[in-house]
Structure 1
């Protein structure tokens, strides 16, 4: 009878050890699956963030180009409010960093805020000892 109890106890211990080993293995597999799932989700989120930022950049560039086109239409002397009698002394241009379909990177665009900087030329004349308004003598 005692041998039977010992055998049953040993068999029970063996079964419990096997179940414990299975539990440890399943737990490790679950943790591995969770880590893989989290890594996949991080990668997917990173890709979504990249796509969103690329779309924002594209929209920003398109908006700036449209704004520049509208400003050019409005400020052009041949544009919406321009008249042929309206004559400006100077047309001002600026170098714009822009990329078109042919991958050209710079272009000239009209600068409505341009200036001839008259105070700079007056200061340069004063530095050289000349008067800003030349004096003419009748001979």
Structure 2
């Protein structure tokens, strides 16, 4: 199954009764494993979970910590980029040159990288006091 197919399939499971904006994400790790996530809304609106965060949580729960590439899909006129928080989450587990594909259901894709999504990202090296 391709990353696109995995992201599109999990998108169907999204719980989005308030916005009706379903998002699916699939990430592939350095071992080739694929993990998926979908957005899960909550009536207490900021308490929901983004698709990218769900995929990352599944990856970490399985004992993996390195994202090689990611695919995010939504039913929108243009490819939707991850929110700021998810950009930081992706940057935590991926190299700056890791590929990220943003897509629509009609097949439009935009290819980018972690570095382009989050230039100047805060990283572990910022915490080095030596």
TM-score normalised by the chain length of structure 2: 0.23
Q: Which has the higher helix share?
A: 1
Structure with higher Rg: it is: 1
Identify the structure with bigger relative contact order (alpha carbons < 8 Å, sequence gap 6+).
Answer: 2
Q: Which has the higher strand share?
A: 2
TM-score normalised by the chain length of structure 1: 0.22
